[in-house]
Structure 1
Amino acid sequence: MIIWILIILIGGFFVSRMIPVKGITNITVQEAKNKRKDKHVQFIDVRTPGEFNGYNSKPFKNIPLSNLPAKLNTLDINKEIVVICQSGMRSAKASKILKKHGFNKAYNVKGGMSAWR
């Protein structure tokens, strides 16, 4: 019985990770690239500094996910924010944090930098 409960809990965990976060707008890499010329859009990369230094793209600014809550005051709440990471998981978490703090125009790049290349 305990084994079945564990299997169900583990299965539920993985299913919950696959479901998109409510209120988060996902955009494609092409949609993100189209926004690069817009001066009213902020671009943040929430990967680690090592990942960012290994490969990055302008105009993304590196704010690691772990530092994001402390750096919210450096972002303009009235501007759109395009958020990227390596695969889209951390940027979805970052977008959720932004939404909770009143950033209503946060966009998660589906596929992250893996899809960007």
Structure 2
Amino acid sequence: METGIIIAVVVLFLVWRMKPTKGVKSISAHQLKQELSDSNKMFIDVRTPGEFKARNIKQFKNMPLGSDLSKLPKDKEIVVICQSGMRSAQACKQLKKLGYEKVTNVRGGMGAY
């Protein structure tokens, strides 16, 4: 019986962690390709410098997770990518906490691009 409760708690925790942050838009890699020319958007890649150097999208600026995101412009939509979408989701959550209104996460990250 205790094992069932522990498993249920773990599952609920994982579902809660993966739930998208309120107010964060989510787009696919295909949708991203259509938005790369939009000058009203700031594109941020939160992967490590090594990951970024190995493969990147030229419109994206490398700001590894843990960087000071408060220096980003608040008047532009911030589009965030990582390798799989997990770190970028964390960065989006941080941006929302910092008061950024227009925040977008790329689902599937570079792996889907």
Give me the TM-score of the superposition, normalised by structure 1. 0.86
Q: How many residues align?
A: 113
Q: Identify if the C-alpha distance between structure 1 residues 101 and 71 changes in structure 2 by more than 3 Å, giving closer, same or farther.
A: closer
The 3-state SS of whatever aligns with 1:66 is coil
CA contact (8 A) 2:44 2:63 kept: yes
Deviation at 1:3, TM superposition (A): 2.7
Deviation at 1:96, TM superposition (A): 1.2
Which of 69, 72, 75 aligns to 2:70? It is: 72
Letter of the aligned partner of 1:46 in structure 2? V
Unaligned runs of at least 5 residues, structure 1: none
Q: Distance in 2 between matches of 1:15 and 1:40?
A: 33
Letter of the aligned partner of 2:70 in structure 1? L
Deviation at 1:42, TM superposition (A): 0.5
Instruction: Please give the per-residue CA displacement for 1:12-39, whole angstroms capped at 9, x wherever unaligned.
Output: 1222233322221101112222221122
Across the aligned residues of Structure 1 and Structure 2, the Cα RMSD in angstroms comes to 1.5
Identity, in percent, stands at 51
Q: Is structure 2 residue 78 aligned with structure 1 residue 81?
A: yes
Instruction: Please give the per-residue CA displacement for 1:11-68, whole angstroms capped at 9, x wherever unaligned.
Output: 112222333222211011122222211222100001111111121111111101121x
Q: Distance in 2 between matches of 1:90 and 1:71?
A: 13
Q: Distance in 1 between matches of 2:38 and 2:73?
A: 14
Q: Distance in 1 between matches of 2:101 and 2:10?
A: 32
Higher fraction of helix = 1
Letter of the aligned partner of 2:14 in structure 1? F
Instruction: Please give the per-residue CA displacement for 1:68-97, whole angstroms capped at 9, x wherever unaligned.
Output: xx2421x11010111001111111111111
Moved segments of 4+, more than 4 Å: none
Give me the TM-score of the superposition, normalised by structure 2. 0.89
Unaligned runs of at least 5 residues, structure 2: none
Aligned residue in 1 for 2:95 = 98
Letter of the aligned partner of 1:61 in structure 2? K
Alignment of 1:31-70 (within 5 A): 31-67=31-67, 70=68
